[in-house]
Structure formats: structure tokens, C-alpha cells
Structure 1
């Protein structure tokens, strides 16, 4: 039941988005107003979507054998949201670097959790 509920969310697509976000950020030009607008648009849709997904995860009861996976998933999504929120604040003033640094720290934490997720059950059964 747990796997089916996660699959109903388009789970692997959500994880793919996290890696695609990193690619978008690496190509971001803070002097280009179109890049700033594009990233803000991503945040406008992504932050609420991932907050809803995090709420879903936190309400979902994981079986005992999936507890480690579930914790890593929560960590990854929480940090991804934090990364987008911090980057969004950085975009309001691209000359300041505190929010950029925090965004990077959150993103690194999110990807570190993702690396561990793929080694946990039930990752192989998720779609």
C-alpha cells in the first residue's frame, strides 16, 4: 500500500525534478533578468507543489522496513524546499550571498539524501 501511494504521486518524476533544478541553477546568470524571472516562475509553482508533497509524505505511514527510506525522503524534500526558498530570497537581491549560501547547503543536503534513497527499499518498486 505504501509503494502504491507513493507511485500515485509520480514519485520518480519528483526526484528527477530535483536533479534538473540543480542543472538549471548551474546555468543561471544572475545578471540576466530572464534567468531571474524563469527561476522565480519555477519557485512559484515548485515551492507549493513540494510543500504539498512533503505534507503527503508526513501523513503517510511507512511500514517498519521502509522507515529509513521514508526518513531520507522527508529529509530530501525538506531540504529541496529550503533550497528553493533561500534561492528565491537571493533572487530578490542577487548581490547578497547569505541566501545563496544557504540555498546551496540545502541543495547539497537534498542530493546527499537522494543518493542514499536509491539504495533503500522500496526504491526499486517506485515509479
Structure 2
């Protein structure tokens, strides 16, 4: 990923975490136009839902799930959006599928938790690489 896009993505995520959705959306849309990140699609869906743009939110959450079918947070967000759109059967189906995928077996992590840890590992590796410590960046 180009340095420019890394910076834009970081700004988008930072503003999203602060719930400054208008600012976040500006940056996340720039990244979303060039790269396929499930978390960016999910964040754009949350922003659209917050603004009441339910059809756009649905498209974003569905996009996140096309990129990563095991993305529990996006599935739950899609379920809520379907419910808000009056598509109760689809909401229930998505919700139940997310719950069944999220059942951790003994000795195994919940896929949602595992995904968050993987994202944090990726961010740490990127920080090492940005600092010029390529050997430490290998995960």
C-alpha cells in the first residue's frame, strides 16, 4: 500500500474511533475507492446507518462480508440494518449465522476476537516497517 493511502487510512480510522463520522467518511471513502478492506466497508456502513442511509449501510456491510465472510461485527451490523429495513427474516438468518460462527470451541478463540487480534498484529507489523525495522515487522 502506498504511503499516502496508509496516512489516509490512519486518519479515517482515527476520526472513526473518535466518532467524528463526517471527517472519517471523507478519508475512508478515499481508501475504499482504491483498496478493499472489510473494516473500511464496515466503518462506512456504520456511518451511513448513523446518518439514516440504510440502503447504503446495507451495501457497505454486504461488501465487508464479501471481502471477509467471517467478519462477525459486519454481519451483526447487517442484521440490525435488515431489521431496520423491515427485512426481519433476513435479519434473523444473518444474526443466527453470525452466532453459530462465533461459538468458540474449547481451546479456540471466537472468530471476532481472533480477527481483532490479527488486525492488531498487522498494525504492529506496519508500525515496525514504518520505523525501518523490517525484520521485526515480519509476523
Normalising by structure 2, report the TM-score. Answer: 0.30
Q: Report which structure shows greater RCO (CA 8 Å, sep ≥6).
A: 1
Normalising by structure 1, report the TM-score. Answer: 0.32
